[in-house]
Amino acid sequence: MGPDQKEFPIRNHARRYGDIACVASITGAQIMLATRGANAVMIGLLGTAMGVSTLVGSLLANKLVDMVPTGKLIAGALALFVVSQMPLLFLHSYAAILICQILAGLPFPALNAGLLGFLYGKTPDNMQGRASAVFETTVGILGAACPAMVGWLLQQPDLGFTAVMAVAVVCSVAGLAVSLAGPLRSIPNPDQWSVGGFPVTPSSGAPVYIRSYGI
């Protein structure tokens, strides 16, 4: 594996941190409410509410992708997610969790549309499978391990749900920082993605023009 191949999976932190934060938040809330003896239907309603808000977000995502530069859209979606999670550091009531999860579901379609649209839109056909494998594996492994970490934190008397939400907030802030501090923020609208792009070198394991934006 050459240096270019090694660089590609390291540079998708924005989406990776966002996914970890989302999994930690919803899993932690569900387990915490279950230990409190909350009604099973009410616990399931959290997932339903977040799914409905994600559906609403998906209806807006296409227009937002066309109107807002992709880099700013990614940063804005992550910023909204950060704001939606911060109240749960202090408020643990069912109503607070429900409202925050609804808000958390809204930005993810726009985030995925912008980030994944750019990733796959700028990846040559013969590298689509490789890019998908690297991206989904690096994101998925940590996301799969996240529920175990959440369960362990909830078992600790001095930690509990506050610690879970602290992890979610830290991860979401880290993703936002990556989107703002790196070249990711400079990605333009989709109709300008070809402007300033760089060709793929024969020895490269990942598209240079994608790596140049820090994904």
Q: What is the pLDDT of residues 73-132, one digit of tens each?
A: 888 888 999 999 999 999 999 999 999 999 988 888 888 787 777 776 766 777 767 767
Which token pair is 190?
């989709």
Q: CB under 8 Å, gap of 24 or more: what pairs does 152-160 form?
A: 153/28, 154/28, 154/31, 154/32, 154/35, 160/32
Distance between CA 194 and CA 103 in Å, rounded? 33
Amino acid letter, residue 178: V
Q: Give the percent of the chain with pLDDT over 70.
A: 74
- DSSP string for residues in 10-47: HT-HHHHHHHHHHHHHHHHHHHHHHHTT--HHHHHHHH
CA distance 22 to 172: 8
The answer to whether the predicted template modeling score (pTM) of the entire model surpasses 0.85 is no
Confidence of residue 15 (pLDDT cuts 50, 70, 90): low
Mean pLDDT value across residues 189-206: 51
For 132, the token pair is: 């998908």
Environment class of 133 (CB within 10 Å of its CB; exposed 0-12, middle 13-18, buried 19+): exposed
**pLDDT tens string 131-159:** 677 666 766 676 677 888 888 888 887 78
Using only the alpha carbons of the chain, give its radius of gyration.
Answer: 18
